[in-house]
Structure 1
Amino acid sequence: MSSRAPLLPWLSLRLLLLLCHYSLSAPAAALDALAPAVVGKPGCQTRCGVVDIPFPFGIGDDRCALEARHTRYPFKLDCMSVGGTSKPFFRGMEVTKISLADGKAWMKMNISQNCYNQSTGTMERNREPVDFTGTPFWISDKDNKIFVIGCRTFSYMQINNVVTGCVSKCERALKDGECSGDGCCQVDFPTKGWRYSTTFDSENYNTSLVWRNNPCSYMAVIETTAFKFSTTYVNSTIFYDTYNGAAPVVLDWIISMDVCDIAIKNTTSYACISGNSNCVDDIKGGYRCKCSHGYEGNPYIKDGCKDINECLDNATYPCMGICKNTIGSFDCSCYPGSYMKNGFCLPNQKSTFPARHRRKLQHIKNNYFQQHGGLILFEEMKSQQGHAFKIFSEEELQQATNKFNEQEILGQGGNGIVYKGLLKSNSEVAVKKCMTIDEQKKKEFGKEMLILSQINHKSIVKLLGCCLEVEVPMLVYEFIPNGTLFHLIHENHGNHISLITRLQIAHESAEALAYLHSCASPPILHGDVKSSNILLDNNFSAKVSDFGASILAPTDEMQFVTLVQGTCGYLDPEYMQTCQLTDKSDVYSFGVVLLELLTRKKAFNLDAPEHEKVLSMMFLSAMKENKLEDMLDDQIKNNENMEFLEEMAELAKKCLDMSSINRPSMKEIGDELGRLRKVMEHQCARQNPEEMESFLGDSSYVINSTVESTKSFSIEKNAMKRLKSGR
């Protein structure tokens, strides 16, 4: 790709003004899934702290758990007070979640460590064995891995009759998120494992020579999705401290080792006693129970499996017409004027409505539906059955928004108006009435919306569906309750917004855009990144929104975007010359959002003096004159924050480079903001450990360090041992 020319001198502020439009809000709001109530035996506790305890598990009285006639395994848990909070435990291990439907449980298991004691000059080991012999639990081989962290570390596990582990040597540069031998190595957890013990080879591999940069080595079984390697884990105790010495592990559980064919025959011990329940064989041996299709609840309790009202959960059981619940299932029929074909409601070519004007209206709706690619969308949905994307009728959205009442407006701008809506299922949504649509993309619109709806990221607003039977399609999003970043920083000046909150919002937004650019398939360009398109939930977590403006990345360089889009103050100057949208266009716009967070000034201020109208130009001028402090928001400008503020400003400066080729990628931006965020959180944790406990969660980011790198290899083959053991 050829490099792009710098901004032409004749590109004046006047041209910027002509291209401006404000879009003050975008979709928003969570579609809550309806969950059945936790069912236990009468008079028995079904909750310990925040954890539901469904039967066959029980607390307290022996009768509250599955009786011995059904199983020889213990299902009784202990509910204990820890620091004033009730928590469930099994054999001393904290239980954090139990799933009946999946036959899984989540527990915290101790991390083994091997640390150098500077005062004694010796290695001190803390090896934590685990043994589920004689219990209903297996350690899941699909959901967990074995992780080893450190330099000069050789650690292995004896798991039933298998020994496996790996070596980590610091010889290459460490990378966040990578656990392939550099500072961190990993191996699969063997199948059918229910006990293990750990060993560190301290004779040949220890940290006595590198303890300043690598004080401890660690080994642990961890849920794969809960672990992300950070280079800070090598040169500090952050890894151990983050998990408080106990990492999350997923376990599979069974009722007994009998297979279903045998268990069903023994009527006195068979545990699946609810009507509309089935026996399920576990691939590793034994059986569990599950409610039949169309039912949910607890199969281990009499009448525990209840009919699902599918009509209240349109995301899981999509019905584009009239939904009627039936016992164990549901019926879906079409509204008048439509007919069912291959499970989809299609508008009638010939309306049955008697009034002439209604026939004409239906004909117009049908034409719009086809123009916007409705039939193509149906074909795509047929090939992806089970995907929760709905085609709404205009009538449904009229009812949801009280006929698009002005009182329901959440925000509006140059590309549309967003209304709050309430569907018949009592789910809150945000409905966007777009102003215009690219004529060249009309036929592909529905298909592109289906692709966008498949994006699944915690920091991206979910697209739930669309309406195609109107002149300009309408989009339906999840509803996010706490407004926009624009409102928080520009219309709420009385509130103090800490730097760590601003950094969190910036980091989460950057990760969302990086996901769109690098992980979505095909890659997606947002096209209108701005503070009013970043929504906030009740915890001030960021949700990037407004994919009415999103553009699917072109497959070749001949496919140019011909319409200038974006918002004044955020527009990439290079895009304004070429009209070609790229991922670096989003990077430029994100740089402006960073400035808003740093300065609490608007991206474009029509009422300001000429040299202060465009925030990005004012910022670059201040940086050039070494006057950054003059621009920073007084709320966050202090000596403790200055180093962080200067690094964020440098990052914003890189994003705003006039030549896109010199700008960083959103992935690089996300990594850098993550590093800054982790450093700040770690610094705050040392000052206020209780206040910062919730920040340290599962995520991991890098702090600058001068550690050595690593190399690893698996010893599964070489260290394999055959040991006698029994279940």
Structure 2
Amino acid sequence: MELSRLLLLCLVTVWVLAPPAAAPTTADVPVSLSPGCARNARCGGIDVPYPFVIDEQCEIRPGFYLNCTTEGGTTTLFRGHPNFEVTKISVQDNKVWFKTYISRQCYNESTKDMMYNDAMLNITNLPYVLSADDNKIIVLGCNSLAYMLSNTYAVGCLSTCKDTIPKVNGSCSGKAGCCQMDLPRGVRYYHGYFNPLYNTTQIWRTNPCNYVTVMESAAFNFSTTYLTSSVFYDRDQRRTPVVMEWSIAPNTTCEEAKINQTSYACVSNNSYCSTNDAGYVCKCSDGYQGNPYIIDGCTDINECIVPNRCPAGNCINTLGSFTCLCPRGQSMIGDVCMKNQKSTWMAPVVGASIGVVVLVVAVTCAYLILERRKLQHIKQKYFRQHGGLLLFQEMKSQQGLPFEIFSEEALQQATDGFAEQQVIGHGGHGKVYKGVMKDDMEVAVKRCMTIDEQQKKEFGKEMIILSQINHRNIVKLLGCCLEVEVPILVYEFIPNGTLFHLIHDNRSRHISLDTRLRIAYESADALAYLHSCASPPILHGDVKSTNILLNGDLTAKICDFGASILAPSDESQFVTLVQGTCGYLDPEYMQTWQLTDKSDVYSFGVVLLELLTRKKAFNLQGPEHEKSLSMVFLCAMKENKLEDILDDEIKNSENLEILEEIAELARQCLEMCGANRPSMKEVADKLDRLRKVLQNPWAHKDPEEWDNLLGESSLVNSGALSTGNFSITKRVAMGLESGR
């Protein structure tokens, strides 16, 4: 059971895992306040400002109707489905406060086993996202390794108490029974999980439970009673406060919203459109306040009611602003009204004023020139910072190096200004765009969102190494753009999609065993090249079927490796944040947080299972014991029920021995201990031999004929190929030589 949960809890930071939830269309949807609908309702002491309503007939778009319910004398405001209690709504900040649930892991004294209550939040079809600025992921416990799993990535941290329970309340520290993490932006779904290797089995009398939840950081105040009792879980009906950002139309920009004025929500004068992590929202202009979603909802702010607004003069309120006036005969100098002096000093003042005007005109004229130069200097700064000079020198010294340094302007033109319709893949750190260069060459442009300081320093050197990778089964890095804050990578364009799409999204298409075995061999050979032939070796770190692209003839191409996966020169490469892809992540890496070449071997073993079974590596909707494909496979192997999980398209009596050999190879790749796994070179060699057995007629000869052919060979004499037990391994051993 612990192994099952361990493989279940593999966590992600990926480029392409799942498509984003479709945003509700803004076309032809009325957004103005309908007659008879309240501008500002109330429920149980909570203001419900428009566009939120408590009358379902007044809802402008799904997600804004709230259910006002009275039960037991208490009136409560709920967001219908999912049924979350609402405690506060802000139109000005475009935020809403909910109460959400807590995940816990407790020791059950009666069953002598751990008990799990996993909480989940799913608002993918609603106009909300969790606020990354206002919330934190909180983990409590004296022996807890907990994660928050989203549909594209997950984060986790370790909370321990050392030998004693801490005595300090208030703060949250990893050494004090509590740790916290920043929440990624744009989260609409999460599921709380625990690593079963960390539990309260040995300490349950003093520390019975571990907890993980997403909650408003300002509302959390650590107490040692959270570790010794169930106070944290039982308070407020087992819920914690969380802050959501909301928008009128999820994943919609202001430019897209303004196209259809009939559905544009910023209907008040003196309002404007803005965007947040959820989508587009409306705000009142500076100097105005109110509700921008209602006609004439933004009203002027009377700044003059603020005490001492004009310390030495009269405050005159104007639309959107104010003016300070001095009494007759006085002028405003700074914040003070002073009497006008005689003309003896007026001439110098007038002359100085004219000089200031001339100076301002001169500065303004020079400003445009300086701004252009400033932009050029910034581009040069980024270019030097990312190692551009080193790349130029290397390209000059190595004539014919197939690597190009692109300008930002060229990539803007190739991708139509990085338009959304050009996106062909995306993940937690950026997007991949399809681009067409001036010479009609199609490229894939990878635009990352962030890069750390160490990667900036080493970027030029690493680009030189990656540009020299030359393998037919690895996507070629064509060049990069260095004149931007975060470098942009340019790859060759692979037109036929991913292996994941081939085997999971197109179930009607027949895929022969020969094709599957060839794709597996080509992928393994490419990874073996990265591990053994690149200098320095390159660890992929995220091997999965979505990172294996396919050409028109279904030739495999490994992709999504870059400047962050060069193998370190020492043994000190540790991380504090588990990264990888759910279903593929090496369990040994989850314990040691040290990435090795055997981590890629484990992930490749899961890809082999996908090819054998045509099942997904991780099925979040399935029963708990069937969520992890690797766990289902290992159980089937242990119970001699391999045929039950194999894909019917390739399962027949002629292929059974080869399928068993492939399954055994996958089992070796999935060994819990990395030292017991084969190298990628050994995996590629074994797949190559099996492929040749499948392709050549001699692979299907009668076993007795092969015994006669083998004769007195050393293999027979050693007992490896004994008569009467002629397995596929014998055919591989003998057929390899004749196949070559």
Q: TM-score, normalised by structure 2?
A: 0.46
Relative to its length, the structure with more helix (as a share) is 2
Q: TM-score, normalised by structure 1?
A: 0.47
